[in-house]
Amino acid sequence: MPLTPESKLTITTTLREALNTCCPPMVKVKESADGMEIIGNKPVPYGYKKEIIPGMFFASFIARKDMVSFYLFALYGHPDEFKSIAPTAMKCLKGKTCFNFKKPEQVIKKEIDALLKMGMQVWKEQGYMK
């Protein structure tokens, strides 16, 4: 069942507001009506060649036809730490770092803010942020 335009707007607005609170220190690299992407604020080596990239991918969202996908890369490798702070959002976790939201009531601002705050702590510990 496709997402109604009103529901899509509600979800994307909540996610956009939450991601904007991370900038700065995070850096916004892409933004459109249907999505947004932010990265860490420190150049880091990446890949097998260890090429320096401007910042490690942190989070993004993209509105699709039947859902809004929210990616939080800090979740990768630390799923147990995040489960307790966002039980409603974790029910929408598909795979390791992707949340697929199909209803506005699945996106609780308090939980998203807590996920991003913990994610920023992980990014600092990993050396992806100044």
The CATH number of whichever domain residue 89 belongs to comes to 3.90.1150
Residue type, 17: E
Domain extent for 41: 5-126
Residue type, 59: A
- For residue 46, the model assigns a pLDDT of 86
Which is it for the CA torsion 26, 100, 12, 83, positive or negative?
A: negative
pTM assigned to the model: 0.88
Beta-bridged to residue 26, according to DSSP, are none
Contact 43, 52 (CB under 8 A): yes
pLDDT higher than threshold 70 for residue 3: yes
pLDDT single digits (tens) 82-121: 788 888 888 888 988 899 999 998 898 999 999 999 999 9
Strands (E) across 1-130 are located at 27-32, 35-39, 44-46, 51-53, 57-63, 68-72, 93-94, 98-101
What's the structural domain count of the chain? 1
